[in-house]
Amino acid sequence: AQTVTQSQPEMSVQEAETVTLSCTYDTSESDYYLFWYKQPPSRQMILVIRQEAYKQQNATENRFSVNFQKAAKSFSLKISDSQLGDAAMYFCAYGETSGSRLTFGEGTQLTVNP
């Protein structure tokens, strides 16, 4: 079974600075998807960014980018120019290609300080 580990329960960053959230996963599959979801206090899970395992190029989405290291099974999220609205719980998730099941990590609570 796949597992996802987020080793940082809490992180904090100053507004306008850069922060990196870590995620590692375990799988025997060669093809899969990886995601970062954001969950603010409203509880609505919002997709931040996704990466297909067969793509070597790291995904970027405006201020959000990932560092995908397939051999190391590592998938970190970098948030540049942090904004107060980025404060939330961030979940890393693994997606199977044989189905749509998502396996989530335990989450990292990000605080943005003004």
Partner 1 sequence: EAGVAQSPRYKIIEKRQSVAFWCNPISGHATLYWYQQILGQGPKLLIQFQNNGVVDDSQLPKDRFSAERLKGVDSTLKIQPAKLEDSAVYLCASSKTGGSYEQYFGPGTRLTVT
Distances in whole angstroms, Cα of residue 66 to Cα of each of 22, 26, 43: 10, 18, 23
Binding of partner 1 by 107 (CB under 8 A): yes
| Residue in 15, 26, 29, 46 binding partner 1, rule: CB under 8 A | 46
What 3-state DSSP class applies to 92? strand
Binding of partner 1 by 41 (CB under 8 A): no
| Residue in 47, 60, 81, 83 binding partner 1, rule: CB under 8 A | 47
Residues that bind partner 1 (CB under 8 A): 4, 33, 35, 37, 42-47, 50, 91, 93, 95, 99-107
